[in-house]
Structure 1
Amino acid sequence: MKKTLYTLVALLFTQLTFAQDINKIITIKYVDRLIKTLSSDEMEGRGLYSPGIEKAASFIESEFKAIGLKPMEGETGFRQSFEIEGKPAFNVAGIIPGKSKAAELVIFSGHYDHLGIVKGDAQDSIANGADDDASGITAMIALAKYYKKLNNNERTLIFVAFTAEEIGGFGSKHFSKKLNPDHVVAMFNIEMIGKESKFGKNTAFITGFDKSDFGKILQKNLVGTEFTFHPDPYIRQNLFYRSDNATLAALGVPAHTISTDQIDTDAFYHTVKDEYSTLDTQNILATIKAIAKSAITIIKGTDTPSRIPRLIESHD
């Protein structure tokens, strides 16, 4: 009885400590600043090859530097440069080196490109991409800040903002060539978390939920909290293969996308109306905190999600 009571007290203390720490590190003010900046008119919709996407990349780099991330091995800085049809493009990536399991990698990602300047109405032609996917990039940066402060990751953590998702996932395809997929333990791709999900407050869904036990691990780590993860309810939309998780998933990595978007009824998706004013910042904050807690055993190396059957062979 005493042992059981001690265990319960220890668990409660751990949860309270987590809540206090994360509430100090990831605040609504911090999240608000990130997403307001990324979705501002100054970024011009973050269109590929545009001055706006250059500004967005520079902003992400500055946040990585302030957090204290390091460039990926083989890179001189946070930009991972490559070409698309002869034109320059770049992901922005940084790492927190692991301790006892440094060769094992956990990825947190989103895409920072959007549609840029488009044909809109008389008042607006900027597709700001606030939910798609400034919300995911905000989450990725906030998680980097949190885990750097926590400083207890046994596995190496990679934080990456992908480019060219909107035209075919070229950024994530290039990124995957830099890694041995067998070394990647899990990928948390975050896309469109700016509005309440169809399951209500404090919920999100995971694409490809049945393809590995990734989602079950995350949900286990949220027991005792008010947040729950659900399987993707939009199977007909084929979302698992429409985001930046798809390339690594095809290589066997338990790579999944976390989202809250009601994609079947979202009137702002891929329009000039996807702006900061349409977002629920509290929903973004709650989802970030849930991801932070749910990933703890994976980054500490005590849980390893099952692999997804390979669809393509590795390029290594």
Structure 2
Amino acid sequence: MVKRYSYFILILLAKQTAFCQSIDKVINAKEVERIERTLSADGMRGRKIFSPEIDKAADFIASEFKKAGLQPVNGNTYLQEFVMLRTKVVMAGGKMNGRVLDEKSVAAITAKETLTVTQASGYKQVIVHGTDTLNVLVSRLQKSGGDYLLMVDTAHRKWFDVYRRGMQNQFAPKGNIVMVLASEEAGEYSIEYRQTVTSMPLKNVVGILPGKSKKNEYVIFSGHYDHLGVGRANEAGDSIYNGANDDAAGTTAVMMLAHYFAKLKNNERTIIFAAFTGEESGGYGSRYFSQQFSPDQVMAMFNIEMIGTESKWGTNSAFITGYEKTDMGTILEKNLEGTNFKFYPDPYPTQQLFYRSDNATLARLGVPAHTISTSKMDSEKYYHTQEDEIETLDMNNMAAIIKAIAISSTSIVAGKDTPSRVTEDALKR
């Protein structure tokens, strides 16, 4: 009996050793450095949105996804392209209830270059009282996709003037909203609005590893590959915000995980690997991405942000934002039993990190979407500075973190564990 038990232990240890050797062949400090160094190089010039260099970074990420053998997200391309709009008012005015409307009393949210609206246009009229919250109301109406004429009380002049200046890097609205600064209800009216519309192209990079038995259930690994670009030079004469930790580190992890899971080829659920654009400018990439999938089909999201430095607990550790909002952290810790790695709850709750990264969009839709990070947010001296370069990062610790993410996600990828959803009550906490 003792011999049989000892034999079983030896077999188990042999399998564990083989597994460790297998993961080390794919996820190791040398490969981490290769990818990280490419993304955070001076030649990428800080990967600012709308720059040639961010396109260069996107092409590099796509090449890694192709090398891993992932399926492209759109036909034969890994680029998930979309546009943001910038508008500039050329002319605004008209007549309403017998009086002339000048350009300071008319605003519009529209993707059209020319808009003519009369009482026969079928616009639904909404009176915005002084006690209402204009921006919240406008946001709600935009989601409906309809056409509206808003009669806006002068108490909202400050917000009204913001809308009057036109859109800056906004998604194309589904409907049209015309606003008039007036407290009365509109009777007979004719409003003319003209603007220039400039389309600003952006792209996420997305690769897919189809699942076996649960193809319509998705697990997402993500990070953002944009950063701040080039700014004023510091005392050392460096003007490039390389963003090595923020978030070339997280994007490196996504590519490493893509290579790892593609080699395993045993995922029951479909895995989506996404490098988002525009996180630093408003989360544009993750917001667009979230519209392309039904949130009910997304079983979990591992968003990875700033894992290049040691956490407050040292090496072999990281924290999970919004840990208490689902049981995903508990599942990850269970899968890490027997290792020397530890996940902790977010130690910086007052900074609201759960809502400040690309996990937030899907989390608000109920998805167990969390960000994994090691950043010491109360003392990260290179955060958003020109000194955020690869020389400040620990490649060995990064590799250990990426391996821990891979191992901890095993039962979720296999379809054996499904984290609890984010509830509305949890979002309020």
Aligned-pair distance for 1:14? Answer: 3.8
Q: Distance in 2 between matches of 1:7 and 1:303?
A: 26
Aligned-pair distance for 1:5? Answer: 6.3
- 1:91-145 CA distances to partner (integer Å, 9 max, x unpaired)? 0000100000111000000000000011132511100000000000000000000
Residue of structure 2 in register with 1:51 after alignment: 52
- Report percent identity of matched pairs: 57
Deviates more, 1:63-72 or 1:148-157: 63-72
Letter of the 2:266 partner, please give it: N
Residue of structure 2 in register with 1:249 after alignment: 363
Alignment of 1:111-150 (within 5 A): 111-121=224-234, 123-150=237-264
Residue of structure 2 in register with 1:294 after alignment: 408
Letter of the 1:63 partner, please give it: E
Aligned-pair distance for 1:277? Answer: 0.9
Residue of structure 2 in register with 1:29 after alignment: 30
- 1:190-241 CA distances to partner (integer Å, 9 max, x unpaired)? 0000000001110000000000011110010110000000000000110000
Residue of structure 2 in register with 1:109 after alignment: 222
Q: Distance in 2 between matches of 1:302 and 1:53?
A: 38
Q: Are the aligned partners of 1:195 and 1:261 in contact in 2 as well (CA < 8 Å)?
A: yes
Residue of structure 2 in register with 1:83 after alignment: 83
Letter of the 1:31 partner, please give it: V
Q: Distance in 2 between matches of 1:8 and 1:289?
A: 24
Of the three residues 315, 320, 327, the one matched with 1:201 is: 315
Q: Are the aligned partners of 1:249 and 1:310 in contact in 2 as well (CA < 8 Å)?
A: no
Residue of structure 2 in register with 1:170 after alignment: 284
Structure 2 residue 274 is the aligned partner of structure 1 residue 273: no
- Aligned-partner SS, 1:120: coil
Aligned-pair distance for 1:9? Answer: 5.1
Q: Distance in 2 between matches of 1:82 and 1:70?
A: 19
Q: Distance in 2 between matches of 1:147 and 1:310?
A: 33
Q: Are the aligned partners of 1:107 and 1:160 in contact in 2 as well (CA < 8 Å)?
A: yes
Structure 2 residue 41 is the aligned partner of structure 1 residue 40: yes
- 1:240-270 CA distances to partner (integer Å, 9 max, x unpaired)? 0000000000000000000001011011000
Aligned-pair distance for 1:8? Answer: 5.0
Scaled by the length of structure 1, the TM-score of the pair is 0.95
- Aligned-partner SS, 1:99: coil
- Aligned-partner SS, 2:72: coil
Q: Are the aligned partners of 1:204 and 1:258 in contact in 2 as well (CA < 8 Å)?
A: yes
Aligned-pair distance for 1:10? Answer: 5.5
Residue of structure 2 in register with 1:100 after alignment: 213
Q: Are the aligned partners of 1:155 and 1:300 in contact in 2 as well (CA < 8 Å)?
A: yes
Of the three residues 262, 270, 278, the one matched with 2:376 is: 262
Structure 1 residues 9 and 221 mapped into 2: Cα distance closer, same or farther (>3 Å)? farther
Structure 1 residues 263 and 4 mapped into 2: Cα distance closer, same or farther (>3 Å)? farther
Letter of the 2:81 partner, please give it: S
Aligned-pair distance for 1:6? Answer: 7.2
Structure having the larger proportion of residues in strand: 2
RMSD, matched Cα: 1.7
Alignment of 1:55-70 (within 5 A): 55-70=56-71
Residue of structure 2 in register with 1:227 after alignment: 341
Letter of the 1:97 partner, please give it: P
- Aligned-partner SS, 1:286: helix
Q: Distance in 1 between matches of 2:424 and 2:290?
A: 14
Q: Distance in 1 between matches of 2:33 and 2:335?
A: 26
- Aligned-partner SS, 1:264: coil
- Aligned-partner SS, 2:223: strand
Structure 2 residue 352 is the aligned partner of structure 1 residue 238: yes
- 1:140-182 CA distances to partner (integer Å, 9 max, x unpaired)? 0000000000110000000000000001111000000000000
Structure 1, unmatched stretches of 5+, are 312-316
Q: Distance in 2 between matches of 1:214 and 1:80?
A: 28
Find the structure with the greater CA-based Rg: 2
Residue of structure 2 in register with 1:314 after alignment: none
Q: Distance in 2 between matches of 1:241 and 1:8?
A: 45
Q: Are the aligned partners of 1:251 and 1:310 in contact in 2 as well (CA < 8 Å)?
A: no
Structure 2, unmatched stretches of 5+, are 86-198
Structure 2 residue 270 is the aligned partner of structure 1 residue 156: yes
Residue of structure 1 in register with 2:20 after alignment: 19
Aligned-pair distance for 1:4? Answer: 7.1
Q: Distance in 2 between matches of 1:112 and 1:6?
A: 48
Scaled by the length of structure 2, the TM-score of the pair is 0.70
Q: Distance in 1 between matches of 2:406 and 2:413?
A: 10
Aligned-pair distance for 1:310? Answer: 4.4
Q: Distance in 2 between matches of 1:11 and 1:273?
A: 46
Aligned-pair distance for 1:75? Answer: 4.3
